[in-house]
Structure 1
Amino acid sequence: MAARMPVRRRHLVIQLKRLRREAGLSQDEVWKALGWSRAKLQRLEAGDFQRLRAGDIMALCQIYKADEAVAQELIQIARDSRTEKPWWTQYKDVLPGAFLGLETEATLIQEYNIALVPGLLQTRDYTAALMRTSVDIHGEEEIRRRLEIRAERQRAVLDRDNPPMVMAVIDEAAVRRQIGGGETMKSQVRHLIELSERPRVDIQVLPFAAGAHAAAGIPFTILGFDGTDAAGSVVYLETHKDGYYLDTDEEIARYRLIFGRTQGSAMSVEDSRDFLERLLV
């Protein structure tokens, strides 16, 4: 069984490795510069540690020349890990970019969405149309920057050398809702068809005819990092502005059961592709 790595610890590890790579430093260069042992840095980057020292994280952030906001967040995670309060349980206080970092590292992504096409699978025009209706986004310049981030996110996940297995169950409402108008939606549907032909992307449509189903409720994403074992997974529950992470074995098992049953209620991958093609007629 894979060792459990709670959400904030995983976020910390991902960020530290990213900072080192961006600084252009090897592990050997870092541990020698800090006077550490090679094993200490290796354990830290593997998430194989019992306790975190804020001073160690501070030293790493300094040598990596990390942005002040990022450094303070990582140092606070180290400090919180020494308190009695369980710091790895349900929470929403990580930076907004945390989900993107976790998603980029995932080897398995299972997502259920109700009213919208999942972000990873959206076209630029579809995303722009959504952003223009948001009360939290102001002006075309902000939309442009967010679209660049979305495009980079999609490339980092779907187009990397070893892409994750992506399994998406999309409610019929999401592909029938005319976001951005008829031509934008046709382009979006064609994009879904093209993605579904990739060997590591499964897209299933949950039809209205399915009636009540196991996933009735809010959208969710299961990110797997160590195969199919629950100990290597995180559940992300999306809300309007924030999100919640769940990582106990019970919670992950529950959402995997929900996702599996929802897949069973949805059309097969092949039938879903045929259904999407009929929408273009």
Structure 2
Amino acid sequence: MRTNPTGRQLRFGTELRKLRERAGLSVTEAGQLLGIRQTQVSNMEAGRGGVGTERLRTIACHYDCSDKALVEALTTMTSDRKRGWWEEYHELLSTPLLDLAELEHHARSLRDATTARIPGLLQTREYALEIFRQAVTELSPPDIEHRLSFRIKRQAILFREDDPTPYEAVIHEAALRMRVGGSTVSRHQLQHLLDMSDRAHITLRAITFEAGAYPGSGQSIHYAFAHVPQLDTVYLDQSHGLAFLDAEAQLHKYRMLFDRIEAVALAPEKTRDLIHNVMREL
């Protein structure tokens, strides 16, 4: 199990710091106001150590935070301390990947936009295997197997019986037509997209070649919605690894970007027609 704070714990601490700074308090002043040591305030803001729900409400009161929805969302973050399945991989995979699984698990909904690949949450095992085999840094067979099993487990959020995570994906035609692993693997992948798009909580849209250049083209962009907009997170899948963004200006920028991307994408039914056409050409 990890000894360092998880991404969720770090984000919780960051939000506590933002609340304190909005109240115009220094760490020393906050400690005096709350009746705790300065080091305790610093540790809470660094994501180290637990913060009980009652203490959180006390903090919000002393910081004059009147945003009840935000306080309730933070309460949920601090009250849910269960060890996630992803911690089984803490010695096998990088910390950002563990934080990604944790983020997706707790997200209220998810949005993806990809150009050259099918989104990871929608990849078949065979498709994902080929992607890992062609990684920029060559992976050993055990590393490939760890990454593959981890990716498949991440997809469980889309299959939960009670509350599957609502998911929207915009996929460029280039990703649909790229024959990853050959015709058979590609055909099975496309059929999987059609099957997943039948689910009420999943929406697929495609951007065709005819659409030309569009906002955000060339990037793989992912947006995780929290229970309040302030706690949303953007994560970018880059060649050097995952980058997580959560500044208010960044969140606003990428919310607008996704809206612009979806404006040039096909409707879900026309997307299904395109996928059928690509399958016929294989």
TM-score, normalized by length of structure 2?
A: 0.67
Instruction: Find the counterpart in structure 2 of residue 165 from structure 1.
Output: 166
Cα pair 2:173 2:207 within 8 Å, conserved: yes
Aligned pair in 2 of structure 1 residues 237, 7: CA closer, same or farther (>3 Å)? farther
Structure 2 SS opposite 1:169: strand
Cα pair 2:8 2:102 within 8 Å, conserved: no
Cα pair 2:114 2:171 within 8 Å, conserved: yes
Aligned partners of 1:98 and 1:40: how far apart in 2? Answer: 20
Aligned partners of 1:102 and 1:138: how far apart in 2? Answer: 25
Structure 1 SS opposite 2:127: helix
1:198 aligns with 2:199: yes
Deviation at 1:150, TM superposition (A): 1.2
**Which residues of 2 match residues 81-160 of structure 1 at below 5 A?**
95-155=96-156, 157-160=157-160
Deviation at 1:42, TM superposition (A): 2.5
Single out whichever of 216-225 and 175-184 deviates more from structure 2. 216-225
Deviation at 1:141, TM superposition (A): 2.7
Deviation at 1:235, TM superposition (A): 0.8
Aligned partners of 1:10 and 1:43: how far apart in 2? Answer: 19
Aligned partners of 1:168 and 1:206: how far apart in 2? Answer: 11
Which digits, 9 at most, give the CA deviation of each residue in 1:177-220, with x for residues without a partner?
Answer: 11000000000000000011100100111101111211224211
**Which residues of 2 match residues 1-281 of structure 1 at below 5 A?**
9-10=10-11, 41-42=52-53, 95-155=96-156, 157-160=157-160, 161-226=162-227, 229-281=228-280
Aligned partners of 1:211 and 1:135: how far apart in 2? Answer: 27
Cα pair 2:118 2:171 within 8 Å, conserved: yes
Structure 2 SS opposite 1:216: coil
Aligned partners of 1:166 and 1:158: how far apart in 2? Answer: 8
Q: Which amino acid aligns with 1:261?
A: R
Which digits, 9 at most, give the CA deviation of each residue in 1:41-91, with x for residues without a partner?
Answer: 225799x7799xxxxxxxxx9xxxxx9x97xxxxxxxxxxxxxxxxxxxxx
Aligned pair in 2 of structure 1 residues 43, 151: CA closer, same or farther (>3 Å)? farther
Aligned pair in 2 of structure 1 residues 45, 269: CA closer, same or farther (>3 Å)? farther
Deviation at 1:159, TM superposition (A): 1.3
Identical columns (%)? 27
Cα pair 1:206 1:265 within 8 Å, conserved: yes
Deviation at 1:249, TM superposition (A): 2.1
Aligned partners of 1:102 and 1:183: how far apart in 2? Answer: 33
Cα pair 2:96 2:242 within 8 Å, conserved: no
Aligned pair in 2 of structure 1 residues 137, 252: CA closer, same or farther (>3 Å)? same
Deviation at 1:40, TM superposition (A): 5.1
Cα pair 1:221 1:236 within 8 Å, conserved: yes
Structure 1 runs of 4+ off > 6 angstroms? 48-51
Single out whichever of 128-137 and 146-155 deviates more from structure 2. 128-137
Aligned pair in 2 of structure 1 residues 169, 40: CA closer, same or farther (>3 Å)? closer
Aligned partners of 2:274 and 2:166: how far apart in 1? Answer: 22
Which digits, 9 at most, give the CA deviation of each residue in 1:220-271, with x for residues without a partner?
Answer: 1110011xx5313111111113122221222111111111111110110110
Aligned pair in 2 of structure 1 residues 11, 236: CA closer, same or farther (>3 Å)? farther
Aligned partners of 1:147 and 1:94: how far apart in 2? Answer: 16
Instruction: Find the counterpart in structure 2 of residue 86 from structure 1.
Output: none
Deviation at 1:98, TM superposition (A): 0.6
Q: Over aligned residues, Cα RMSD in angstroms?
A: 3.0
Which digits, 9 at most, give the CA deviation of each residue in 1:109-136, with x for residues without a partner?
Answer: 1111110000000000000011111243
Instruction: Find the counterpart in structure 2 of residue 79 from structure 1.
Output: none
Cα pair 2:8 2:99 within 8 Å, conserved: no
Aligned partners of 2:147 and 2:51: how far apart in 1? Answer: 38
Structure 2 SS opposite 1:236: strand
Aligned partners of 2:193 and 2:115: how far apart in 1? Answer: 16
Cα pair 1:11 1:102 within 8 Å, conserved: no
Aligned partners of 1:164 and 1:143: how far apart in 2? Answer: 26
Aligned partners of 1:244 and 1:194: how far apart in 2? Answer: 30
TM-score, normalized by length of structure 1?
A: 0.67
Q: Which amino acid aligns with 2:159?
A: D
Aligned pair in 2 of structure 1 residues 118, 12: CA closer, same or farther (>3 Å)? farther
Q: Which amino acid aligns with 1:254?
A: K
Deviation at 1:96, TM superposition (A): 3.1
5+ residue gaps in structure 1?
1-5, 14-38, 52-60, 62-66, 71-92
